[in-house]
Structure 1
Amino acid sequence: MKNVSIDIVSDVVCPWCIVGYKKLQQALLMLDEVNATVNFHPFELNPNMPKEGQNLREHIMEKYGASEAQSQQTREQLTDIGASLGFTFDYFDDMKMVNTFNAHQVLHLASLKDKKEALKLRLFAAFFSERKDISDAKVLVEEAVSIGLEKNEVELALAQQTYAEEVRMQDQLWMQRGIQSVPTFVIGNQGIAGAQSPETLAQFIREAMQQQGSGE
């Protein structure tokens, strides 16, 4: 059994990030010889998103130049893909894209308690499946408490912006390493972007481990 650390650079309002994570889990089932540790790292898709957020459909059309029909088609595609992976995408007309800076700060706190993966998955579900505003401090506190963090500690971290500088530093670090889109999976010096198929991810992991083993 070989131990491998897999870094995932992602944002909790990125649908392809949860799809990519789910496909990674399928890939790992193909690798009996691998004992994987998954580490999530912050990436703000929309660092300049205002506090009030923006209608998601308008945001996608504005940012990516997608038509309304293309936006609807993508929603339907993601809903089907999610269902096949055991994840629910519940898109609705008034759904908003929100700022995730505070969410990443709470995720950093969770990482210090070895609970980051649990909170990351909880926030994906809260945003995409349960129609919750994960830019809202109360929602973040509730979700953090639900996976075992202390309420007072989370509230204090948000009020004082305790981990703001650390999150910015980590975000910038990955951008400096050339990460421009999410999800991006990194093993050693090898990186692969996008929600790839389980087979592709499994082969990527094998190749990265072989290069690590050969000292390349």
Structure 2
Amino acid sequence: MAIQHRESFLNNVAAKLNRPRKKSAVTKPIWRKQPQWDVLKGCTQEQLIQVLEKQCKVIHTSFKRTNKNTLANVLYETILEYGGKSIITAEDERNDLYGLPTFFDRLGEEKIDIHVWNSGKGEENVIFAEQANIGITFSDMTLAESGTVTLFNDKNNSRSISLLPKHYIAIIPKETIVPRMSQATKTIHDLHEAGHKIASSISFITGPSNSADIELNLVVGVHGPIKATYIVVE
């Protein structure tokens, strides 16, 4: 897609600023004070988990801990708490690493409808997500300070999985937990600089959907899942 009138537009902006156009690369400044790196500095992974657990209470999110051997049991317990019925999840290589295909087969035998996102099925995935009771994804990075899970969305891991169902479950591998947004954005930047392919869409999700736009009264479940559970996995 061609950009129309770019040169004339930029020349006009420069003229309004009363300076010549800058056409050379911009050098990123080095700031003497960078307090963003001091927050939660030096915390161990266990301490970050404790910070995350505390923050989950603030953002109205259930928090659970388990390991790979008992993940299926904790997932099953959470799914039953949310009423079962129908589940949508991403086509993710971590499903195999954490033994989830066998678990999903077990749910199917119990008449719980399971849909694994399939990019070849197009709009059919979205229709199922709209009607699904539960969405399940892995977190790619998890921000302890704010209780935020980060999802690298692509054709196999759509935003619809975490946005459209009534309930949302985030599986959080322990090693994905970082102190805060500073570390998350640096990681994304470093991956890009190293030539890694970055997802075209990155979602930052902090608990269930909520809004305090009207009279500053917090309402949970306005434009997305009304309940959320984070499961940290050793």
Q: TM-score, normalised by structure 1?
A: 0.28
* Larger RCO (CA under 8 A, 6+ residues apart): 1
Q: Larger radius of gyration, structure 1 or 2?
A: 2
Higher strand share: 2
More helix by share: 1
